[in-house]
């Protein structure tokens, strides 16, 4: 049977790796060993729930402010306020406080606002599609893994014929006219106009995993910023303001968040035995979020629980780290139509195979067999090392720029 869920695939890949090493002879499902009681499964993490590699849209963890949330209002009201595909309108204007010089504004009042059909028409020529983990800067784990599709934001910006005094774009969505529900994000104009460092473009997204973007996920249209944490990907998009404001004016900055911080890399455990037999290899597995600087290695270290923390070495650089194996891509891209990545997806070749692995801004599985230990209580840690050789949580260790703290678990060897 082909595995379907992220967890099934995780254990399928992991078991095959251990079988090849000759460490594992039993094949069981949903765990690394047959003895369920010694397994400390960690399938509680939202983006890696028992769901397909590409998370079903309704299984994403929802982060939406306001009461009621825009996706929960009645359909009749959604029609009135433009939250359906046939009623959606996007206004693109010059910021009255920091005026940008535009050839034209696109407004409801003038009848020039952008509608969904026009956006789709732009899509026939310009649409792009790329995989991306949606991760909240403030939560520890990914909310879901998506294949996002839409029109580059710059193609819509150029419709307004900007001339000068344009330094920043900010944007927000439907918020029941409630100032407390307003959620605004912003980007430098340069990021919108050009895709540096081989990143996909910032898009006006209307499809997720091959289907229309649901109301729950921010439909009809949301912004998706490939390299950013979730707060830049505004849902129920209604307004884009072209501005000469010189600095970020994101709502998220009000909560002390670092709003210029791209996605970090980190490793996390999925399966660790609570108890292990002394002298036998200990099978460990997990996933890694592949941030902006990639993941070159995943490593684990195991030390007696009693070892005193060293204040001169907060990130355990003096510990002995063992390389884990970064496992290959999933055997099938579950969660997508036909379990296939469609042709023309950024990061994949024409046959739907990833051009690199692990792929930046996605999830990767890893596993390791630790050499047997003598009886005792141990602390187990995991970390990523990025493509520049920087070990987690460096080079950006601060919590308010996104989570990358080193994860630690206890393990008893008997
Ligand atoms: N309009 C609007 N967009 C929003 C938010 C919001 O509250 N309102 N929350 C943001 C935050 S903080 C995150 S982490 C992501 C979460 O996306 P998801 O709900 O699709 O998982 O949406 C972002 N877009
Ligand atoms: Mo968030």
Residues 112 and 24 occupy one common structural domain: no
Residue from 272, 291, 273 nearest 382 by CA: 272
Q: How close is the Cα of 131 to the center of ligand 1, in Å?
A: 17
366 to 46, 67, 91, 113, 395: CA distances (angstroms): 18, 40, 45, 47, 22
Ligand 1 test: best mutation among 46, 88, 230, 239, most atoms within 8 Å of CB?
230
Q: How close is the Cα of 207 to the center of ligand 1, in Å?
A: 16
Residue 334 contacts residue 5 (beta carbons within 8 Å): yes
Residue 384 contacts residue 396 (beta carbons within 8 Å): no
DSSP letter string, 144-208: EEEEEEEEEHHHHHGGG-EEE---EEEEEE--TT-GGG--EEEEEHHHHH--GGGPPPPEEEEEE
**Is 274 inside any structural domain?**
yes
Residue 169 contacts residue 204 (beta carbons within 8 Å): no
Ligand 1 test: best mutation among 64, 132, 257, most atoms within 8 Å of CB?
64
Tokens for 300?
């684990």
Q: 266 in ligand 1 pocket by Cβ < 6 Å?
A: no
* Interval 215-256: pLDDT, tens: 999 999 999 999 999 999 999 999 999 999 999 999 999 999
Residues 230 and 128 occupy one common structural domain: yes
Question: What CATH number does the domain containing 97 carry?
Answer: 3.90.420.10
Residues 309 and 363 occupy one common structural domain: yes
Tokens for 78?
């959604």
Return the ligand 1 atom nearest residue 60 CA.
Answer: 21
Domain end among 199, 230, 255: 255
* Interval 20-69: pLDDT, tens: 887 765 444 445 544 332 334 444 444 444 346 798 898 898 999 999 99
* Interval 130-172: pLDDT, tens: 999 999 999 878 999 999 999 999 999 999 999 999 999 999 9
Residues 90 and 30 occupy one common structural domain: no
* Beta-carbon contacts of residue 214 (< 8 Å; ≥ 6 apart): 57, 58, 71, 208
pLDDT given for residue 270 in this prediction: 86
Residues 113 and 172 occupy one common structural domain: yes
Which ranges of 5-84 would DSSP assign to H, the alpha helix?
6-21, 75-81
Return the ligand 1 atom nearest residue 136 CA.
Answer: 14
pLDDT given for residue 32 in this prediction: 54
- CA–CA separation, 232 vs 226, rounded Å? 9
Tallying the residues shown for the chain, one arrives at 414
**Is 15 inside any structural domain?**
yes
Tokens for 56?
């079903």
Q: How close is the Cα of 369 to the center of ligand 2, in Å?
A: 35
Name the domain count of the chain: 2
3-state secondary structure of 117: helix
Higher-confidence residue of 55 and 384: namely 384
Strands 363-370 and 237-243: unpaired
Tokens for 54?
């590409």
200 to 153, 212, 248, 347: CA distances (angstroms): 11, 20, 21, 9
Residues 24 and 94 occupy one common structural domain: no
**Is 50 inside any structural domain?**
no
pLDDT given for residue 7 in this prediction: 74
Q: What's phi and psi for 133, nearest 5 deg? A: -75, 135
**Is 102 inside any structural domain?**
yes
Nearest CA to ligand 1 atom 23: 231
**Is 315 inside any structural domain?**
yes
Q: 88 in ligand 1 pocket by Cβ < 6 Å?
A: no
Domain end among 255, 274, 292: 255
Q: 230 in ligand 1 pocket by Cβ < 6 Å?
A: yes
End-to-end CA distance of the chain: 35
Ligand 1 test: best mutation among 140, 183, 256, most atoms within 8 Å of CB?
183
Q: Give me the residues paired with residue 145 across strands.
A: 133
Residues 20 and 101 occupy one common structural domain: no
**Is 47 inside any structural domain?**
no
Strands 237-243 and 168-173: antiparallel
Domain end among 255, 286, 318: 255
**Is 244 inside any structural domain?**
yes
Quote the domain boundaries for residue 331. Answer: 6-36+264-413
Nearest CA to ligand 1 atom 16: 63
Angle at 402 between CA 54 and CA 177, to 5 degrees: 80
The conformational region for residue 389 under phi > 0 = left, psi -120 to 50 = alpha, else beta, is left
* Interval 254-307: pLDDT, tens: 999 999 999 999 999 988 888 899 999 999 999 999 999 999 999 999 999 999
Residues 276 and 358 occupy one common structural domain: yes
**Is 372 inside any structural domain?**
yes
- CA–CA separation, 296 vs 290, rounded Å? 9
Q: 217 in ligand 1 pocket by Cβ < 6 Å?
A: yes
* Interval 350-383: pLDDT, tens: 999 999 999 999 999 899 999 999 999 999 999 9
- Tokens 């290899």 correspond to what residue? 281
- CA–CA separation, 204 vs 240, rounded Å? 11
Output the pTM of the full model. 0.91
Residues 150 and 287 occupy one common structural domain: no
Residues 246 and 281 occupy one common structural domain: no
Residues 172 and 226 occupy one common structural domain: yes
Nearest CA to ligand 1 atom 4: 234
Return the ligand 1 atom nearest residue 175 CA.
Answer: 1
Residues 74 and 223 occupy one common structural domain: yes
Question: What CATH number does the domain containing 292 carry?
Answer: 2.60.40.650
Residue 10 contacts residue 330 (beta carbons within 8 Å): no
């Amino acid at each position: 049977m082909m595995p379907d869920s992220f967890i099934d695939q995780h254990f399928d890949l992991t078991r095959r790796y251990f079988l090849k090493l000759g460490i594992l002879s039993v094949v069981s499902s949903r765990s690394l060993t047959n003895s369920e009681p010694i397994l400390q499964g960690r399938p509680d993490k939202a983006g890696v729930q028992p769901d397909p590699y590409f998370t079903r849209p309704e299984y994403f963890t929802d982060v939406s402010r306001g009461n009621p949330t825009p996706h929960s209002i009645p359909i009749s009201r959604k029609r009135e306020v433009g939250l359906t595909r046939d009623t959606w309108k996007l206004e693109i204007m010059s910021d009255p406080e920091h005026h940008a010089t535009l050839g034209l504004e696109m407004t409801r009042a003038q009848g020039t606002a952008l509608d969904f059909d026009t956006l789709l028409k732009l899509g026939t020529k310009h649409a792009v599609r790329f995989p991306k983990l949606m991760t909240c800067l403030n939560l520890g784990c990914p909310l879901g893994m998506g294949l996002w599709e839409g029109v580059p934001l710059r193609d819509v910006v150029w419709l307004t014929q900007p001339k000068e005094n344009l330094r920043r774009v900010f944007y927000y969505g439907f918020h029941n006219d409630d100032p407390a529900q307003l959620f605004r994000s912003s980007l430098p104009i340069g990021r919108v106009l050009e895709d540096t460092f081989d990143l996909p473009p910032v898009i006006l997204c209307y499809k997720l995993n091959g289907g229309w973007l649901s109301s729950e996920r921010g439909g009809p249209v949301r912004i998706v910023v490939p390299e950013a944490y979730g707060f830049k990907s505004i849902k129920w998009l209604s307004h884009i303001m072209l501005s000469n404001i010189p600095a970020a004016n994101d709502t998220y900055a009000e909560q002390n968040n670092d709003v210029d911080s791209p996605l970090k890399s980190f490793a996390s455990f999925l399966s660790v035995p609570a108890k292990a037999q002394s002298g036998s290899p200990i099978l460990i597995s997990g996933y890694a979020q592949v941030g902006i600087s990639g993941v070159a290695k995943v490593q684990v270290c195991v030390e007696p629980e009693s070892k005193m923390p060293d204040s001169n070495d907060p990130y355990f650089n003096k510990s002995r780290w063992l390389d884990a194996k970064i496992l290959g891509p999933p055997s099938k891209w579950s969660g997508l139509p036909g379990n296939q990545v469609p042709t023309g997806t950024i990061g994949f070749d024409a046959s739907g195979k990833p051009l690199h692995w692990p792929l930046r801004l996605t999830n990767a599985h890893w596993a390791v067999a630790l050499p047997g230990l003598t009886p005792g209580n141990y602390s187990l840690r995991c970390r990523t090392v990025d493509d520049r050789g920087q070990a987690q949580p460096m080079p950006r260790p601060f919590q308010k720029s996104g989570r990358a703290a080193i994860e630690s678990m206890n393990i008893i060897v008997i």
